[in-house]
Amino acid sequence: MQESNKLEKIISLCKRRGFVYPGSEIYGGLAGTWDYGPLGLTLKNNIKNSWWKKFVEERDDMYGVDAAILMNAKVWEASGHIAGFSDPLVECKNCRKKFRADHISEGNTETGKLELPKECPECGKFGTWLPESKFNMMFKTNVGPVEDKSFASYLRPETAQGMFVNFKNVMDSFHPRLPFGMAQIGKAFRNEISPRDFLFRAREFEQMEIEYFTRESEWEKIFENFRMEILKWLSDIGLGGGSIHELEVPAEDRAHYSKRTIDFEFDYPFGRKELLGLAYRTDFDLSAHINKSGADLLYYDEETKERFTSHCIEPSFGLDRAILAVLCEAYMEDELGGEARVFLKLKPSIAPVKAAVFPLLKNKPELVNKAREVFTELKKEIRPIVFDDNGNIGKRYRRQDEIGTPYCVTIDFDTLEDDTVTVRDRDTGKQERIKISELISLLKEYIY
Ligand code: ATP
């Protein structure tokens, strides 16, 4: 399969089968926005829940928050976003198309420096660039009815700051001892110059972030521990193969506050690109908020009687980039029973539909009734599952393969005789006969 086609095929499958639709589609769309349909939403929730379970619920040093998207503009002054959250913008004089300079620049083989291309990638005209400028990517808005500067606010471009501003609240409510972390899942907004590559670079997206607070002396150990936990979680959601690569970000490319950053990259069909980041942010953020707000965000160590600013390790996951990676990894084409098929080899634990139940024939009430009975019993324990009696059985299998349903349960004439059903495995197409009394426990074992 050609990698360039693969993304197009995934986008088309996502739309056709109800995973992801273009945002505001009936009005011609809105660039950089995507709407999740029923299956995409379930896949998204499964990935989110797996993350929350691993990084929050299963630990006893994590505190979850869900902060407001709109924050006091001073937050963004302190964090440096108002002054510096910008991308280099260039515009073609001829066709007026705007580009992110670092996305279209190429290395000059003699000087080794990045340079703009001689020709515009859009219109092909030679040497037509307007001077480069800085473009702040935050969406600005007004809070309240008066269009006055003092009411200006921004849609948050990262969830991280919602945790730093609640550091003191969590300390006061729960009195955690260092090291401990805060976690948040939520929307972030960036006015990307050129949104592209489906869910990869959107203007509205979701992040899953942790701010983990520690003493300066312990940061290296904790950083390494998160590095391992991240790899384990990626494997849990089906990204354990060779398509994840760690990039040690060199000092000159790191954010100014970071003393170490690893980008976890994935081999997307459009190239190896950042899926998530792990950064040691030092005490930059808490110090900046102490200075700007005057609030006491210091940590008091009862044993040593010291007061100091905590340092912070930040694993920052892009949920939509994770969903896209999972879809790219799972998308398969093969031949089964002499016919070409497309299937999503999703991990059963994150698949949006866990099983499908079919009566072999639609026009035999005894089969349909028995299938309904099995469906109702199964649904009490395993969800979501679907019932399908539409079209021939081969087509029903294909429909489930395409959305990644790991198991199909068929009720046939033998079922009426001996209370057994066939269970078909999505990946191999192989079927086994199982007693209905054992079906639930067997599927649970396969899926979870
Ligand atoms: P990039 O260099 O690709 O623009 P970034 O380094 O600016 O990404 P961070 O600021 O580190 O990204 O954001 C943390 C995570 O949020 C990223 O690793 C990514 O998963 C996600 N993310 C960032 N920007 C976008 C976007 N425009 N669309 C979807 N996800 C994004």
Q: Is 185's C-beta closer than 6 angstroms to any atom of ligand 1?
A: no
The minimum-distance atom of ligand 1 relative to the CA of 263 is: 18
Please name the residue whose Cα sits nearest to atom 10 of ligand 1. 158
Domain match, 44 and 7 both: yes
Nearest alpha carbon, ligand 1 atom 24: 201
> Ligand 1 center to residue 130 CA distance, Å?
27
Q: Which domain holds residue 257?
A: 3-74+156-327
pLDDT given at position 375: 98
Does residue 89 form part of some domain? no
Distance, CA 274 to ligand 1 centroid (Å)?
Answer: 7
What number does the ligand 1 atom closest to the CA of 276 have? 18
Cβ of 207 less than 6 Å from ligand 1:
yes
User: The CATH number of the domain where 164 resides is what?
Assistant: 3.30.930.10
Which pLDDT tens digit goes with each residue over 303-349? 999 999 999 999 999 999 999 999 999 999 999 989 999 999 999 99
The tally of domains found in the chain comes to 2
Same domain, 212 and 246: yes
Question: Is 320 near ligand 1, meaning CB less than 6 Å away?
Answer: yes
| Rounded Cα–Cα distance for residues 170 and 309 (Å) | 15
257 in ligand 1 pocket by Cβ < 6 Å? Answer: no
- Mutation probe of ligand 1 site: the residue of 156, 187, 205 with most atoms within 8 A of C-beta: 205
CA separation for the pair 433, 421 (Å, rounded): 6
Residue 118 Cα to ligand 1 midpoint, Å, equals 28
Residues 398 and 317 in one domain: no
Same domain, 288 and 436: no
Q: Which atom number of ligand 1 is nearest to the Cα of residue 273?
A: 3
Protein residue with least CA distance to atom 16, ligand 1: 318
What is the radius of gyration, based on Cα positions, of the chain? 26
Q: Do residues 272 and 307 both lie within one domain?
A: yes
**Domain contains 10:** yes
Q: Is the CB of 214 under 6 A from ligand 1?
A: no
276 Cβ below 6 A of ligand 1 = yes
| 404 and 258 both lie in a single domain | no
Q: What is the pLDDT of residue 230?
A: 98
CA of 266 to the centre of ligand 1 (A): 13
Nearest-CA neighbor of 347 among 235, 265, 217, 216? 235
Spatial CA neighbour of 207 closest among 24, 355, 66, 36: 66
DSSP 226-252: HHHHHHHHHHHTT--STTEEEEE--GG
367 and 256 within one domain: no
Same domain, 431 and 397: yes
Please report, to the nearest 10 degrees, the dihedral formed by the alpha carbons of residues 48, 52, 58, 63 taken in order. Answer: 180
| Structural domain ending residue among the three candidates 285, 309, 327 | 327
The domain boundary residue, chosen from 309, 327, 345: 327
Q: How many CB atoms lie within 10 A of CB 306?
A: 11
Ligand 1 pocket check for 79: Cβ under 6 Å? no
| Distance separating alpha carbons of residues 408 and 421, to the nearest angstrom | 10
Please tell me the residue having the least CA distance from ligand 1 atom 23: 318
233 lies in some domain: yes
Answer whether residue 131 is part of any domain.
no
CA 428 to chain centre: 28
The CATH number of residue 435's host domain is: 3.40.50.800
**Residue 208 CB–ligand 1 contact under 6 Å:** no
Specify which residues 408 forms β-bridges with: 356, 424
What CA–CA distance (Å, rounded) separates 118 from 124?
A: 9
pTM: 0.94
136 and 86 Cβ atoms separated by less than 8 Å: yes
Per-residue pLDDT of the chain (448 residues; tens, 9 = 90+): 667 699 999 999 999 999 999 999 999 999 999 999 999 999 999 999 999 999 999 999 999 999 999 999 999 999 999 998 888 888 898 898 888 888 888 887 777 777 888 889 889 888 788 888 889 999 999 888 876 656 889 999 999 999 999 999 999 999 999 999 999 999 999 999 999 999 999 999 999 999 999 999 999 999 999 999 999 999 999 999 899 999 999 999 998 889 999 999 999 999 999 999 999 999 999 999 999 999 999 999 999 999 999 999 999 999 999 999 999 999 999 999 899 999 999 999 999 999 999 999 999 999 999 999 999 999 999 999 999 999 999 999 999 999 999 999 999 999 999 999 999 999 999 999 999 999 999 999 999 8
Whether residues 308 and 362 fall in one domain? no
Read off the tokens for 67.
């902060």
Whether residue 302 sits in one domain with residue 191: yes
What is the whole-number distance in angstroms between the Cα of residue 96 and the centre of ligand 1? 26
Q: What one-letter code names the amino acid at 230?
A: I
Q: Does the beta carbon of 190 sit less than 6 angstroms from any atom of ligand 1?
A: yes
Distance 390 CA to ligand 1 centre (A): 42
